[in-house]
Amino acid sequence: MKVLVINCGSSSLKYQLMNPESGEVFAVGLCDRIGIHGSKLEYEVPATDFEITLENDMPTHKEALEMVIGALVNEEYGVIKSVEEVDAIGHRVVHGGEAFADSVLLTDEVIKAVEENNELAPLHNPANLMGVETCMKLMPGKPNVGVFDTAFHQTMPAKAFMYPVPYADYKELKVRKYGFHGTSHKFVSNAAQEIMGNPENSKVIVCHLGNGASVSAVKDGKCVDTSMGLTPLQGLMMGTRCGDIDPAAVLYIKNKRELTDKEMDARMNKQSGILGIFEKSSDCRDLEMAAADGDERAELAIDMMTYRIRSYIAQYAAAMGGVDMICFTGGIGENSSLVRSKALEGLEYMGVELDTEVNSVRKKGSVKLSKDSSKVAVYKIQTNEELVIARDTYSIVKGN
Ligand code: ADP
């Protein structure tokens, strides 16, 4: 079985051809700057360490996917003889709204239902669906499966997902918490349960910390709360997103600075978070280096970011009546020993004992970071969203 995993953005197309059962990746890469001058395809074959970058005009996603297919079947460095060897295509779709609590085979009818959520994710969903349409055109007859960022969080109870605004805004406008990064939270919480020996009852907190960041509370394998909301802006302080702030501050800043809606949106999504406080970069590595050199704003940004992670951990432990395991994942969660240790500072009262020595050594894969005596286990777990997409695609196609 070979599944092509596609993650389509407005000007990019990430892909992986993989075996969903073994997780083996045959080829991986991305098309960048689609529709912009200087578009290029990056293509890599992990088994042989082969890498190539091909610069070519890609006015639309159609040309991009044609380039991907061309590379996959290339006589010299391709990994399949013909596109017939691709059994199914799995697509990342950002917003499934309330209609999709699970991955789904994409038919014309289902696509229409997905389109109804486009307003909730105007930057992402239309691009994701463009990827689906392009695949259907260029690989007719192949099954396409949609895997939603929001689906894993659909098990949240109403008390967690409702906002205390007029009920009509929920009924008529679908305003509620949806949550994102669901495939990552699903992968990591499943891995945590496996590590614990798949007990019937478990309480896991997953901290997905990348440019975008979110925390989720997973009880007995089901998500009961998560920090992102109607959009990915809510929750933690992120690379360029502000996360939780007083909603009245939004109106105040907008009015005082005489900003349009679009400008205010950009201020919160692209100019805030680490970048907003540190001002020099949104990247956690730059931030840590500057803090090590004594940059006070960098220190403040790290303190703010980790204080907020810690607050969510404590909140979710309270929500679940305890916690068995805290998992860190994503670029920052997997790599930054500083962020992990500062986020867990002061949680000893909850039974969290970090092994600072193990935490400071960088190792690949899943690593236990807590002391044996720790009541709460702490792990770093390498996330694999593409594998979740490939596996869901496989099980749906097999089921059909
Ligand atoms: P995205 O949300 O775009 O997928 P990633 O999960 O790739 O983001 O995470 C990117 C973040 O991870 C960046 O802020 C980057 O600085 C950070 N990061 C990567 N490696 C390290 C490291 N060794 N130490 C600290 N931060 C790191």
- Set 32, 49, 149, 225: catalytic member: 149
* pLDDT tens profile 17-37: 999 999 999 999 999 999 998
Per-residue pLDDT, 293: 98
Q: What is the DSSP string of 74-99?
A: -TTT-S-SSGGG--EEEEEES--TTT
For a mutational test of ligand 1's pocket, the pick from 334, 335, 341, 363, i.e. the residue with the most ligand atoms closer than 8 A to its C-beta, is: 335
User: Would you state the structure tokens that stand for residue 54, as one six-digit string?
Assistant: 């091909």
For a mutational test of ligand 1's pocket, the pick from 30, 184, 188, 211, i.e. the residue with the most ligand atoms closer than 8 A to its C-beta, is: 211
Per-residue pLDDT, 335: 96
Q: Which residues pair with 329 in a beta bridge?
A: 208
Is the CB–ligand 1 distance for residue 271 below 6 Å? no
Asked if 335 and 342 touch (Cβ cutoff 8 Å), the reply is no
Residue nearest to atom 16 of ligand 1 (CA): 284
What are the strands, taking DSSP E only, across 134-254? Answer: 144-148, 203-209, 213-219, 222-226
Per-residue pLDDT, 364: 86
| Model confidence band, residue 123 (pLDDT cutoffs 50, 70, 90) | confident
Say yes or no to pLDDT of 251 above 90: yes
Q: What 3-state DSSP class applies to 340?
A: helix
Asked if 40 and 29 touch (Cβ cutoff 8 Å), the reply is no
* Distance spanning both ends of the chain, measured CA to CA: 15
How many percent of the chain have pLDDT more than 90?
Answer: 95
Angle CA 385–215–354, to nearest 5: 100
Q: What does the pLDDT average to over 77-91?
A: 97
Cα-to-centroid distance, 394 and ligand 1 (Å): 30
| Model confidence band, residue 372 (pLDDT cutoffs 50, 70, 90) | very high
What are the strands, taking DSSP E only, across the chain? Answer: 3-8, 13-18, 25-32, 40-45, 50-55, 88-93, 104-105, 144-148, 203-209, 213-219, 222-226, 325-329, 367-368, 377-380
Is the CB–ligand 1 distance for residue 335 below 6 Å? yes
Say yes or no to pLDDT of 96 above 80: yes
* pLDDT tens profile 314-368: 999 999 999 999 999 999 999 999 999 999 999 999 999 999 999 999 888 899 9
133 marked as binding residue: no
Per-residue pLDDT, 154: 97
Is the CB–ligand 1 distance for residue 362 below 6 Å? no
For a mutational test of ligand 1's pocket, the pick from 336, 383, 385, i.e. the residue with the most ligand atoms closer than 8 A to its C-beta, is: 336
Say yes or no to pLDDT of 400 above 80: no
Say yes or no to pLDDT of 69 above 80: yes
Per-residue pLDDT, 365: 86
| Model confidence band, residue 265 (pLDDT cutoffs 50, 70, 90) | very high
Number of Cβ atoms within 10 Å of the Cβ of 335: 17
Per-residue pLDDT, 266: 96
**Atom number, ligand 1, closest to the C-alpha of residue 213:** 2
**Atom number, ligand 1, closest to the C-alpha of residue 239:** 14
Name the average pLDDT for the chain: 96
Distance of CA 69 to the CA centre of its chain: 26
| Model confidence band, residue 306 (pLDDT cutoffs 50, 70, 90) | very high
Using a 10 angstrom Cβ sphere, with 0-12 exposed, 13-18 middle and 19 or more buried, the burial of residue 258 is exposed
* pLDDT tens profile 1-20: 999 999 998 889 999 999 99
Q: What does the pLDDT average to over 293-313?
A: 98
User: Would you state the structure tokens that stand for residue 29, as one six-digit string?
Assistant: 């890469």
* pLDDT tens profile 217-233: 999 999 999 999 999 99
Is 149 in the active site? yes
Using a 10 angstrom Cβ sphere, with 0-12 exposed, 13-18 middle and 19 or more buried, the burial of residue 159 is exposed
